[in-house]
Amino acid sequence: MKKVQPDPALSRAALLPLALVLVFALHYALDLSFAMSAAASVPFVLLFVLAPVWVNASRNAFDRDAVGLLAARRAVGLGPRYRRAFGLRIFGSVAERAARRAMVAAENNDPKAARALFRRSVGGWEDPANAPFAVKVGLAHACYRAGAHAEAIIAYRGILDDRGPLPRVRQRLAHAMLEEGKALRDAIEVIDRAETEASDPTELGELALLRAWALTELGQKKKAQRLLKAHRDLDTELANKARGACGS
């Protein structure tokens, strides 16, 4: 089976035509011998051959250092580190470069930029379905955080269809559906599934408050108020947003 790859970088593809142009220019325009003209093009050919090796080394080094920076809670260092990944930046594919830049933006609280870059990364594949799963998850989360709820719904459903349950994916899907104000009963079904998969007390409390939000929109305010009362001490951004939507 042919290995699926992202669309190649144009910078590498241009090296051989440039080498050929250089040979003809030196030989015919400057009247150098063909051997000397060909020798002058050798660096371009070598760079064409070695570019994938440089890209792999540069990409792997960036990914390794990124893990260390995130573990040390130094996301601010990701941008400068990416700028030093010269092999990746010069000869990496559009998909590879955009995915790393998207991660930098996402970790530095710029979801709108992250969303645009993750979309560019997905689009850098001949068939977007072949984009890495991590990129698809990153796009879904970036859409959610950027408030692009309709797009987040599509992305999260695709993730669930592809791999099944992941932490907080159904919760965020339900929240996005409530923000859109459509398919409220479907949102409750998503919450039902999420509650069977969740074990964290905070997540379960947030799911209960999302259910209260949906029930309020459906006119079942007494049930909603009981849930609001049961989780009145939960203080998270999502919990407070749900309370606000319920008028509490």
Axis crossing angle, helix 133-146 with helix 111-123, rounded to the nearest 10: 150
CB 108 within 8 A of CB 82: no
pTM of the predicted structure, to 2 decimals: 0.84
Provide the pLDDT for residue 164.
Answer: 75
Q: How far does Cα 87 stand from its chain's mean position?
A: 21
Distance CA(239)–CA(208), nearest Å, equals: 9
C-alpha distances (whole Å) from 91 to each of 15, 52, 234 are 11, 8, 49
Q: For the chain, give every domain's residue range.
A: 1-108, 147-247
Among all chains, which residue has been given the structure tokens 């090796």?
53
78-87, 100-109, 123-132, 201-210: segment of lowest average pLDDT? 123-132
**Is residue 109 over pLDDT 60?**
yes
Mean pLDDT for all residues in the chain: 91
CB 118 within 8 A of CB 103: no
> Which CATH architecture is the domain 147-247 placed in?
Alpha Horseshoe (1.25)
Per-residue pLDDT tens for 22-81? Answer: 888 887 888 888 888 888 889 889 988 999 999 999 999 999 999 999 999 999 999 999
- Max mean pLDDT among 7-16, 169-178, 235-244 falls in 169-178
**Is residue 248 over pLDDT 50?**
yes
**Is residue 4 over pLDDT 60?**
no
**Is residue 2 over pLDDT 50?**
no
